[in-house]
Amino acid sequence: MKLSKGFWAVAVVLLVLIADQALKIWVKTNMYLYQSFEITNWFHIYFTENPGMAFGLEVISKTFLSVFRIIASCAIGYYLYLLVKRKVPTGYIVCMALIFAGAVGNIIDCVFYGVIFDASVEKSIFYPDGVIATMFSPGGGYSTWLHGKVVDMLYFPIIKTTWPGWMPFVGGERFVFFSPIFNLADSAISVGVAILILFYRKTLAKDFESPKDNA
């Protein structure tokens, strides 16, 4: 029995969303902020929260950013809906489903997490054991609707070394490759975009060269 393109789109979206949210909720309810578990030398579960855009940048209003993410995700979702009805490769649809699911996964954090979780707190002299967040605390959440923080936890310090002392500005400083900390939703977006660029450039270009036909 041949599975439909719609089935693959829905399956990919549900799989990514369930896995992404399950991992985020586990991290929020079992780890204090900046706690780290070393799985291997090159892979850690390192709990951080991203309050803004990629890499923690905060250059625009959080409310505007959350609303923009919702609108953009709705546009991607509608585009994915149209793709399912058209004669395009199933792999192309899977890529768009990965991107859509990743975007929605992070939107859930932004919209809901500030309300359903109380604050996660790092270790300090005031909180020697840190503070692990709880869901639906009687005291309320750490923020309001649309102002939640995105939970990140995947850290791959593949190379840990020190810059040579003779190098200007950075000599003697610690260097880590790969240093970004991200989540499964980010991974889904990155993988979807990478596969599109590598294998579906012509399909993507053709799609956007003929917007009237696509509509």
Residue 166 lies in a domain: no
Name the residue range of residue 208's domain. Answer: 5-34+50-155+184-214
Selecting among 20, 109, 152, 207, the annotated active-site residue is 152
Which residue has better confidence, 185 or 2?
A: 185
* Active-site annotation holds for 152: yes
- Residue 54 DSSP one-character state: G
Q: Is residue 89 part of a domain?
A: yes
pLDDT digits (tens, 9 = 90+) for 113-152: 999 999 999 999 999 999 999 999 999 999 999 999 999 9
pLDDT of residue 206: 80
- Rounded Cα gap, residues 59 and 118, in angstroms: 25
Task: Check 20, 109, 118, 186 and give the catalytic one.
Answer: 186
On whether residue 119 sits in a domain, the answer given is: yes
User: Is the residue at 44 inside a domain?
Assistant: no
Whether the bond between 175 and the residue before it is cis, its omega within 30 degrees of 0, is no
In a domain, 204, yes or no: yes
- How many alpha carbons lie under 13 Å from residue 211 in its C-beta half-sphere? 1
Instruction: Name the band, by pLDDT with cuts 50, 70 and 90, for residue 205.
Output: confident
Mean pLDDT along residues 57-86: 86
The answer to the question of residue 120 being in a domain is yes
pLDDT, residue 53, reads 60
Total domain count, the chain = 1
9-61 residue pLDDT tens: 999 999 999 999 999 999 999 999 999 999 999 999 999 999 866 544 555 67
207 catalytic per annotation: no
For residue 173, tell me if it sits in a domain: no
> Does 134 fall in a domain?
yes
pTM: 0.90
Side-chain half-sphere exposure of 87, counting CA atoms within 13 A? 1
Contacts (Cβ under 8 Å, ≥6 apart) of 63: 146, 147
For residues 9 and 22, give the distance between their C-alpha atoms in angstroms, rounded to a whole number: 20
Which residue would you say has higher pLDDT here, 181 or 207?
A: 181
Q: 145: phi > 0 → left, psi -120 to 50 → alpha, else beta; which?
A: beta
